Amino acid sequence: MKLEGVELRRVKMPLRGPFRTSFGVETERDILFVRVVTPDAEGWGECVAMSDPLYSSEYVDGAQEVVRRFLLPLLFEHDDITASRVATILEPIQGHRMAKAAVETGVLDAELKAAGRSLGSHLGAVRDRVECGVSVGIANSIGELLDQVDGYLQAGYRRIKLKIEPGWDIEPVRAVRERFGDILLQVDANAAYTVADAQHLAKLDPFDLLLIEQPLHEEHVREHAEVAEIVSTPICLDESIVTARAAAEAISIGACSIVNIKPGRMGGYLEARRTHDVCAAMGVPVWCGGMLESGIGRAANVALAALENFKLPGDTSASDRYFATDVTEPFVLDDGYLHVPTGGGIGIAPVPEILEELSTSTEWIGA
Ligand code: OSB
Ligand code: MG
């Protein structure tokens, strides 16, 4: 496939409410879209890097710089590109997986749209709809949290994830468990604890959580194994899992027994699928994480989440959990599920007028 060029477009999308985690508060998303133009089709990739390097070392301005200055020049050296070769071509550039994922996804979407083949069938989806959970930020009070969780359960979400940090952990979990009974419930610490907190985290054990996500720093994988010895709730890794190999290593030392798969964090959907496969082979279930994506990123995540070993509901929430207006046709919850798009590629594209309205800049880089 020949590349004519790539448009880098930034959009600002206000969140419907502030989303608070142990690493900060998000009130809007500033998203980089990569539009890959070929003679036969154009493809879209959404870069999941946030505005500030708080969740990971990547951030959206840096990602755009890396795409423009390092990734596209490497790609444009080749006049015949396939998505399966992108990661190898970009290999000389270290790290910057979210930037690479956006580029690879744009190429993959263009390729599959040209072929009229859906991302789901390309990746090996075995379902036509996926079970959806929702990630609930740190609230100002237990009462406010209970109201939010109640609203999401009313909307049909099939699993609740609570963000936790020291000082906001045992009591909110207890309150949600007491009020809502037997729901699927899990927590995400975004690396807010240390190994010295293991006994404290064990106080979550009586609440029958599905998992505790990323309690410790992303580089402290071995220490997660120590936590897993002390805490009986399964440990799940998010930030630490940057490749399929990292997943295999973490699992083999007992650092986690469940894996959160986020394609942006691991350089794209192809590495995400390999991670899924490795985890399946090791008997470890996975679920699809989220990065407050627009409909572009969500469409691809929903396709991925339709693979066999995605055994738990994902952070693949409906458009209206995040935005008053999504940049695509909105994803709407149907009995707690989202339908896997069936059109070519990611099966969706931005609505031109909405995209224009939300855009803050565009940049064309010809091949
Ligand atoms: O740790 O899973 C996380 C959002 C931004 C960055 C990191 C995380 C999250 C979420 C929200 O938990 C998931 C979503 O609904 O997209
Ligand atoms: Mg997480």
| 289 alpha carbon – ligand 2 mean position (Å) | 7
Within the chain, what is the greatest distance between any pair of CA atoms? 60
> What mean pLDDT, rounded, does the chain reach?
98
pLDDT value, residue 283: 98
Superfamily for domain range 121-339: Enolase-like C-terminal domain (3.20.20.120)
Q: Are 239 and 219 in contact (CB under 8 A)?
A: no
pLDDT digits (tens, 9 = 90+) for 4-36: 999 999 999 999 999 999 999 999 999 999 999
pLDDT value, residue 229: 98
Residue 290, SS3?
Answer: coil
pLDDT digits (tens, 9 = 90+) for 150-159: 999 999 999 9
| 172 alpha carbon – ligand 1 mean position (Å) | 18
- Confidence category of residue 98, pLDDT binned at 50, 70, 90: very high
- Mean pLDDT for 337-364 is 98
Q: Decide if 5-116+349-366 and 121-339 have a common fold.
A: no
Helix, strand, coil: what percent of the chain each, to 5?
A: 40, 20, 40
pLDDT value, residue 225: 98
Atom 1 in ligand 1: residue holding the nearest Cα: 190
pLDDT digits (tens, 9 = 90+) for 208-240: 999 999 999 999 999 999 999 999 999 999 999
Q: Domain residues of the chain, as ranges?
A: 5-116+349-366, 121-339
* Percent share of the chain, pLDDT over 90: 100
| 9 alpha carbon – ligand 2 mean position (Å) | 26
Local structure of residue 29 (DSSP, 8 states): E
pLDDT value, residue 125: 98
Write out the two tokens for 17: 């409410």
Tell me the HSE value of 281 on the side-chain side, using a 13 A CA sphere: 11
pLDDT value, residue 173: 98
- Mean pLDDT for 125-150 is 98
Ligand 1 near 55 CB (within 6 A): yes
Ligand 1 near 240 CB (within 6 A): no
Ligand 1 near 218 CB (within 6 A): no
Alpha carbon distance 40, 46 (integer Å):
20
- Confidence category of residue 255, pLDDT binned at 50, 70, 90: very high
| 328 alpha carbon – ligand 2 mean position (Å) | 25
User: What separation in angstroms does the CA of 199 have from each of 202, 227, 251?
Assistant: 5, 8, 22
**Residues in CB range of 94: below 8 A, 6 or more apart:** none
DSSP code string of 314-367: BS---HHHH-SS-SSSPP--BTTEEEPP-SSBTS----HHHHHHHEEEEEEEE-
pLDDT digits (tens, 9 = 90+) for 39-84: 999 999 999 999 999 999 999 999 999 999 999 999 999 999 999 9
pLDDT value, residue 186: 98
Catalytic residues: 163, 262
Ligand 1 near 317 CB (within 6 A): yes
Atom 5 in ligand 1: residue holding the nearest Cα: 291
Superfamily for domain range 5-116+349-366: Enolase-like, N-terminal domain (3.30.390.10)
Alpha carbon distance 4, 208 (integer Å):
53
- Mean pLDDT for 189-209 is 98
Atom 7 in ligand 1: residue holding the nearest Cα: 291
DSSP code string of 170-236: HHHHHHHHHHH-S--EEEE-TT---GGGHHHHGGGGGG--S-EE--S-TT-HHHHHHHHHH--SPEE
pLDDT value, residue 85: 98
**Cα 171 → chain centroid:** 27
In the numeric block, the tokens 């710089």 are attached to 65
Ligand 1 near 98 CB (within 6 A): no
Local structure of residue 167 (DSSP, 8 states): T
pLDDT value, residue 92: 98
For residue 317, the ligand 1 atom closest to its alpha carbon is 15
Q: With 0.75 as the threshold, say if the pTM is over it.
A: yes
